[in-house]
């Protein structure tokens, strides 16, 4: 009996290519960007790898293009689009994703917005769930430190990310991590819950982020701060240790139950602040819950416990946000100090970001559409011969050299297994196809964009300088 598998595979490949062309219609920008393959999808956008035209100065590297379809069709989607664009266009930090360009096209249900970003090799989700062996403590500390540095930068501007999770933390095989997906980012002080994306029933649509959702968001309390990000960091920290989600709820009700079972009953003050009556009644129906110990919550069977790590997680995942460790305090914790004893300094996040974020929160749908048209140029306006990147290569190089002070920290990291470091580190980033199937929305873990023979001479020089000045431990830079 003849095999029809090759024919079916060709048909499926053709359908995938056709769908990619339909999803990523760039208009006149097609002369610049050519979509190659789909590499991710989420609730509010899809991502493809794209090739940049040779006539467009680009150093020969591919990019990732995130499409937000019908971005102007609803106030919520328009506001989220503006939030992400307005945050990323001013930010210059080595641990936050690089926005290279942004443009819009017309669609049947409103404007489509395309965000051109640096292409990363994988996500922290791949690293956690693709490794066959537990992650070493120095690698965990290295990744955690980069997350905290990126957060310190935006928290100084009063901005909360609000959707931190492993699949939104992008990594390269050299260990470099960048925070991505700022569509939920918001000014943290005095934020009310009256917007549609804070409604308790709407929350059920965000099942993927429930395991990292802070109690004040989960319970729909009227105000929240940057503490919501610190809670998520604690959950991610624990997940790097456990290689499973710390609080794996799959619905709002199950997530609340898991949080109450582990962290205990919230205070009367917290319960009184809950604005969703249905949520309040549900919490009260559990009665008084005694919290578990953190040795019970972060139960590790295949490795010796690290009590400094447990103590830090306990401070990050406090039920009451006022009791939670903030980002500045996190750098003083003994777990971080053990690996990074020298205090690092950060650039100041431009105040313009805060002003721009505030401007999109209290305006109507028509005004949001006008802002999208004003902020984001049409594809017809893109230069056809020369790049007009939002973040230039020189600025990226300046970012890389701004963290040279961390070299002393790198040298002070205690590598007990130096002889086997390279081989063990390789297992951390053996991002196989099995981990792809587990990923929620992440980049192709088998694709290596950064082979030296695929870089231009100038990009090779910049890339090497960034590696030399970054906080990457030796066994990771050896990959």
Q: Is 163 a catalytic residue?
A: yes
17 known ligand binder? no
Beta-ladder partners of 48:
38, 65
Place of tokens 């503006």: 82
Quick one: which H or E segment has residue 308? helix 307-316
**DSSP of 53-115:** PTTS--TT--EEEEEETTTTSSHHHHHHHHHHHHHHTT---TTBPPEEEEEEEEETTEEEEEE
Beta-ladder partners of 40:
47
Number of continuous H segments (helices) and E segments (strands) in the chain? 21, 10
DSSP annotation of 28: G
Quick one: which H or E segment has residue 51? strand 46-52
Among candidate residues 163, 229, 356, 406, the one labeled active-site is: 163
* Nearest-angstrom CA–CA distance, 215 and 320: 8
In Å, how far from its chain's centre is CA 246? 18
Interior CA angle at 249 toward 122 and 444, to 5°? 15
Q: Could you list the active site residues?
A: 163
Q: Which residues are annotated as a binding site for ATP?
A: 67
Please report, in range form, the residues annotated as the binding site: 67
């Amino acid at each position: 009996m003849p095999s029809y598998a090759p024919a079916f595979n060709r048909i499926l490949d053709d359908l995938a290519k056709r769908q990619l062309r339909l999803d990523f219609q760039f208009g006149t920008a097609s002369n610049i960007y050519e979509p190659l393959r789909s590499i991710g999808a989420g609730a509010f956008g899809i991502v493809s790898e794209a090739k940049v035209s040779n006539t467009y100065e680009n150093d020969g590297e591919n990019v990732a293009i995130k499409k937000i379809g019908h971005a102007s069709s609803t106030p919520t989607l328009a506001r989220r689009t503006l939030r992400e664009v307005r945050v990323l266009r001013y930010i210059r930090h080595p641990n936050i994703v690089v926005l290279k360009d942004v443009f819009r096209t017309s669609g049947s249900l409103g404007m489509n917005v395309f965000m051109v970003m640096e292409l990363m090799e994988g996500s922290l989700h791949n690293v956690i769930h693709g490794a066959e062996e537990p992650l070493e403590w120095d690698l965990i500390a290295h990744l955690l430190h980069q997350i905290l540095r990126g957060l310190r930068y935006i928290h100084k501007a009063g901005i909360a990310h609000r959707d931190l999770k492993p699949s939104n933390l992008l990594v390269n095989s050299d260990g470099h991590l960048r925070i991505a997906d700022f569509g939920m980012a918001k000014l943290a002080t005095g934020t009310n819950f009256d917007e549609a994306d804070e409604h308790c029933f709407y929350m059920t649509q965000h099942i993927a982020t429930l395991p990292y959702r802070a109690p004040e968001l989960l319970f729909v309390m009227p105000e929240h701060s940057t503490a919501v990000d610190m809670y998520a960091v604690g959950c991610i920290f624990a997940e790097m240790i456990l290689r499973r989600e710390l609080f794996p709820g799959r619905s709002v009700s199950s997530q609340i139950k898991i949080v109450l079972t582990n962290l205990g009953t919230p205070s009367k003050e917290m319960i009184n602040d809950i604005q969703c009556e249905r949520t309040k009644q549900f919490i009260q129906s559990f009665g008084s819950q005694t919290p578990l110990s953190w040795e019970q919550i972060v139960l590790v069977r295949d490795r010796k416990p690290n009590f400094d790590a447990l103590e830090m997680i306990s401070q990050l995942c406090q039920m009451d946000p006022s009791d939670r460790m903030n980002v500045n305090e996190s750098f003083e914790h003994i777990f971080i100090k053990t690996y990074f004893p020298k205090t690092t300094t950060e650039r100041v996040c431009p105040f313009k970001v805060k002003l721009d974020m505030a401007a999109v929160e209290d305006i109507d749908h028509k005004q949001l559409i006008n802002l999208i048209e004003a902020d984001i140029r049409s594809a017809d306006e893109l230069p056809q011969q020369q790049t007009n990147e939002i973040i230039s290569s020189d600025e990226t190089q300046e970012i890389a050299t701004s963290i040279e002070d961390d070299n002393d920290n790198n040298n002070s990291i205690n590598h007990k297994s130096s002889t086997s470091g390279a081989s063990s580190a390789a297992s951390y980033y053996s991002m196989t196809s099995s981990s792809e199937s587990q990923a929620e929305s992440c980049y192709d873990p088998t694709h290596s964009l950064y082979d030296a023979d695929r870089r231009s001479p100038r990009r090779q020089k910049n890339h090497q300088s960034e590696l030399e000045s970054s906080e990457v431990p030796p066994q990771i830079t050896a990959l």
